[in-house]
Amino acid sequence: MKNSRRLLTAGAAAALVASCALSANAYSFAPLLDRSANGRLSEPGGAARLDGDQTSTIRASIQKPGAKNVILIIGDGMGASEITIARNYLVGAGQALGGIDALPLSGFMTHYSLRKDGKPDYTPDSAATGTAWATGVKTYDNAISVDINEKPHQTLLEYAKKTGRATGDITTSEIQDATPAVQVAKVSLRKCYGPEATSKDCPAFAKEKGGLGSISEQLLDTRPDVTLGGGSKTFSEKAKAGRWAGKTLEQQARERGYNYITEKDQLAGVRAANQNKPVLGLFDEGNLPVKFNELVATKGGAEEGKAAQRCTVNDKWRKVPALGDMTRKSIDLLSNNDKGKKNGFFLQVESASIDKKDHAADACGQIGETDQINDAVKAALSFAKKDGNTLVIVTADHAHTSQIVDGPTPGLDTKLLTNEGSEMVVTYGTSPAGGSQQHTGAEVPVAAYGPGAANVVGLIDQTDLNAIIKNGFNSYKKGGHRR
């Protein structure tokens, strides 16, 4: 029976809920889901993902807010279509992704941004959307944690530090890219990575003008305990003002006590990360290499007679830390940090190149990066399941353009051979060949596990994530949920 593969049967869950009612401080054994099909897809009921009534399972998943730790996992551009494409290819239509599909409570999330005049922009970018959950404020495209009047706002990572928690910010992109940047910086334009661009394009924020500085300089000032990703090229730029004027940002980082690393093996050897010696791992000059080699859709790529393709692993990806490994390492470092042990931690994790490969109409590229986030979710859930005081939230910053269709379209197509032996046609139709495919405005999935996870059920907005996470931190009482 399928229930034998679940963490809890419905009966066990019901018994557990009853026993937990006896103690306000008892930790509820929230279940993780196995939503793979029951049997042969061709048989009656074989494709069903439910096995009996799930009321008790859902009841057992609902815990009051009070999270010592929060792990926020973002798939950039990972709308419902991108998840479905990856599931079909990686595990099969009737199967389930062991991380993304395992969270028991889910909903949908709106993600529009604002224009400078305050009116809605229905197809936002990653800067405005990231700012929404990082600060709780809607803003304009390209803004990094500033509102439509360019006023800076406190970020979740800063709030976590204020509450005495350890903090981390990891990504597969340049660490200065929009999604990781919204937690550590406030600037009027997302491309103000270093002092040079900031002086030119964001002069009011430049250090020499008395501003907060470039994204990279603000990152050093914000000082997360763990920062991992790409973007080392910007750290070769020199500061223009202040104590480190004339020195490169890398020199500044080292002089300020950062454990500055650039190699995969170095990360494996890190044993501690804290405010005395925070870890800054930059494993590429730009974005990190993606997991799968590219398979770019073309005009007529799915025509009759064209062979369906399989994805292959990119050798360059093997030379940098995988997102799942960075997630496991970050959780280990933060949870064993003195502040992490005492007060908890906040960690933001991003799989950035789902979006970047969707822009490039690269089906294999985006599938591989969805596979990476799925591994990161597995790592987070493994920790949360044992810990009992950790809220895990998984969502996207915005939707994107890829679609599964029945055959050739007027757009760009490619034909994939899934592991089930079926052909799957993926199309991109919002830009011509060689152009950048566009973001789309559809609501995105959001799912959660742990204390306060029920707050994502139904329809929420990205700004709600800010309040959910803050309220979880504020509601946590030491020993409150621990077994």
- Residue positions annotated with a catalytic role: 126
User: Which CA distances in Å does 316 have to 191, 267, 284, 313, 320?
Assistant: 26, 17, 11, 9, 7
Secondary element (H or E) of residue 448: strand 444-449
Consecutive H or E run containing 266: helix 264-269
Phi/psi region, residue 69 (left: phi>0; alpha: psi -120 to 50; beta: rest), is: beta
Cα dist from 164 to 100, 226, 330, whole Å: 30, 15, 17
- Cα 276 to Cα 274: distance, rounded to the nearest angstrom: 5
Distance CA 414, CA 364 (A): 10
CA distances from 350 to 14, 103, 468 (A): 35, 17, 19
Q: Are strands 113-114 and 120-121 parallel, antiparallel or unpaired?
A: antiparallel
Do 289 and 320 touch, CB atoms closer than 8 A? Answer: yes
Report whether 300 contacts 246 (CB < 8 A). no
Backbone angles phi, psi at 137, to 5 degrees: -120, 130
Structure tokens given for 154 = 């406190």
Q: How many helices (H) and strands (E) does the chain have?
A: 15, 16
Burial class from Cβ neighbours inside 10 Å (0-12, 13-18, 19+) for residue 100 reads buried
Helix, strand and coil percent figures for the chain, each rounded to 5? 35, 20, 45
Nearest to 335 by CA among 161, 165, 170, 169: 165
Residue-by-residue DSSP string for 188-212: S-TT--SHHHHHHH-GGG-GGGTS-
DSSP code of residue 239: B
Order of all β-strands in the sheet with 69-75: 259-261, 279-282, 226-230, 166-174, 345-351, 69-75, 390-396, 444-449, 105-110, 458-461
